[in-house]
Structure 1
Amino acid sequence: MKYVLKEEKGFIYIDEGQGPVLLLLHGLMGGLSNWEGVIDEFKHDYRVVIPILPIFDLPLLTTGVKTLTKHVHRFVKHMNLNDFVLVGNSLGGHAGLIYCVLHPERVKSLVLTGSSGLYENAFGGSFPRRENYEFVKEKVEYTFYDPATATKDLVDEVFILVNDRSKVVRLLAMAKSAIRHNMAKELNKITMPVGLIWGRDDKITPPEVAVEFNQLLPDSKLYWIDKCGHAPMMERPDEFNKKLREYLNELKQKA
């Protein structure tokens, strides 16, 4: 990771650039490095802020998407962020949805990419063969349209993670929490503009999930990225940035 991590009051985060704030939230298996292409592109005219989400550090009994959202709110208050655009991938998008229901006064707009919150076809609830490197490699490749996007470094990271008993128990608890917390009946409360940037070949939150989000959210716009899976900002960073830039420019024109 080429960007400097800052640490204070129990929060670890990246804070790059100046201007309107983009708050980026990574997914369940993700990390700050997932957003490097976005930082590179937007740090010149936005302030890009990315907290590490404490997915593996929460007490097991409270490990869930709602607790994660409370952490995001504590971070937002600590950083004194207001009128920001919240961008979330996968579980980070789900936390973003809950955040926008609870604290709409803080958020200017929400952008979702491969977000959970309606339906997700995750790792299947367990890792019965987590000691098997090839099995884990296949699971990581499943995230992407092009299996080559699952680099050895990325597979190694996930392999180490799923073979840490404490972490895998929390990972599964968080995944089950996200599946249980379906937001279909709450989406009408999110009246701010929402951008949906979706991989057309996403197998984890398939295209019909994006279509349903677009139907249920009162003010949303859907952008597709072809030949792309669950993490467009990693697999098709240039196209993702182009779509995000287009959406942010439209937001400016509305203001």
Structure 2
Amino acid sequence: MASSLFTLTRGSGPPLLLIHGLGSSSATWAPLLDRLSAERSVVAVDLPGFGKSAPLDGPVTIATLTDAVEEFIDAQGLAGVDTAGSSMGARMVLELARRGVGGSTVALDPGGFWTPGQLRFFAVTIGASLKLIRKIQPALPRLTKNPVGRTALLAQFSAHPWALPAPLVLAELRGFEAAVSVDEAFDALVHGPLQAGAPVGSTPGKVTIGWGRQDRITLPSQAKLAAQRFPDATVHWFDKCGHFPHWDQPEQAADLILAGTG
């Protein structure tokens, strides 16, 4: 049941819902939790089939995963909740905003705004990464302890992977193996529709889109289409930052989320 998604909760204050990306879990938000929870009641979910949440009974698509989050919001009495998401989760919080669900929205490097060529690049490179990560699971503890290993594993994802905490990287890469819905979600990203937009004045709150200037997954040029599809959105650029602002620039990312949902 979507209403029973695993949640990581911390802090007090107005609720803030966090949604992770492909292959990830609520643990990905660890670098931001202290800062966010000082002002907000943080609810970080594991999406169905990721982390500790059971998979959906039916097909896994961006729409059905978003349906599950919408059901969770209703079941938990979180109507009007502010949302923030990363990557696939960023696309989902934009979809919630498009549907009129929730409050203010912060989307960090969302998918769904690529050109056909960029989508092929995403499919090939991330598909290869998924296969590699599964193949080298036994070696991950050793590889992630080493800055050279972290760089080799996450060069496409981070602007400075050597500097990332080893436990954070290990947990993230373990998640790709453990997430039973990762292949279906990846297929949905590759073969499903682009993200639909929201007309001016139609979203329930502010919309902020953050993008890393060194993002090699959802390329920075895609921000132009995202801004066209969500004309009410403010676009914020993170310098020295790859696909995960909450990893590469955690203080800035936390500040953006708090400002964008405050």
Q: TM-score, normalised by structure 1?
A: 0.79
Alignment match of 1:114 (pick from 109, 117, 131): 109
Output the amino acid matched with 1:131. K
1:9-158 maps to which residues of 2 (within 5 A)? 10-56=4-50, 57-58=54-55, 62-102=59-99, 104=100, 106-119=101-114, 121=122, 123-126=125-128, 127-129=130-132, 130-132=134-136, 138-149=152-163, 151-157=165-171
Tell me the distance in 1 between the aligned counterparts of 2:31 and 2:167: 17
**Deviation, structure 1 residue 153:** 3.5
Output the amino acid matched with 1:113. L
**Deviation, structure 1 residue 9:** 6.3
Tell me the distance in 2 between the aligned counterparts of 1:210 and 1:9: 32
Alignment match of 1:216 (pick from 198, 211, 229): 229
Alignment match of 1:196 (pick from 209, 216, 222): 209
Q: Quick one: higher RCO (CA 8 Å, sep 6+), 1 or 2?
A: 2
**Which 4+ stretches in 1 moved above 6 angstroms?**
none
Tell me the distance in 1 between the aligned counterparts of 2:192 and 2:163: 30
Tell me the distance in 2 between the aligned counterparts of 1:155 and 1:238: 18
Contact 2:85 2:93 in 1 (8 A): yes
Say if 1:159 and 1:40 are closer, same or farther in 2 by CA, change over 3 A: closer
Which runs of 5 or more residues in structure 2 are unaligned?
Answer: 144-148
Output the amino acid matched with 2:55. L
Which runs of 5 or more residues in structure 1 are unaligned?
Answer: 1-7, 250-255
Cα deviation digits, residues 151-201 of structure 1 (max 9, x gap): 54355445545556xx46x31221120233334543438832210111110
**Deviation, structure 1 residue 50:** 1.1
Tell me the distance in 1 between the aligned counterparts of 2:97 and 2:17: 13
SS of match in other structure, 1:124: helix
Tell me the distance in 1 between the aligned counterparts of 2:82 and 2:30: 17
Contact 1:55 1:68 in 2 (8 A): no
Which has more strand, going by share of residues?
1
SS of match in other structure, 2:89: helix
Indicate the residue corresponding to 1:186 in structure 2. Answer: 197
Q: TM-score, normalised by structure 2?
A: 0.77
> How many equivalent residue pairs?
236
Say if 1:70 and 1:147 are closer, same or farther in 2 by CA, change over 3 A: same
Tell me the distance in 2 between the aligned counterparts of 1:77 and 1:60: 19
Say if 1:29 and 1:188 are closer, same or farther in 2 by CA, change over 3 A: same
1:223-234 maps to which residues of 2 (within 5 A)? 223-234=236-247
Tell me the distance in 1 between the aligned counterparts of 2:40 and 2:153: 34
Output the aligned Cα RMSD: 2.9
**Deviation, structure 1 residue 224:** 0.8
Contact 2:113 2:223 in 1 (8 A): no
Say if 1:33 and 1:59 are closer, same or farther in 2 by CA, change over 3 A: closer
Say if 1:224 and 1:118 are closer, same or farther in 2 by CA, change over 3 A: same
Output the amino acid matched with 2:18. L
Output the amino acid matched with 1:176. D
**Deviation, structure 1 residue 27:** 0.7
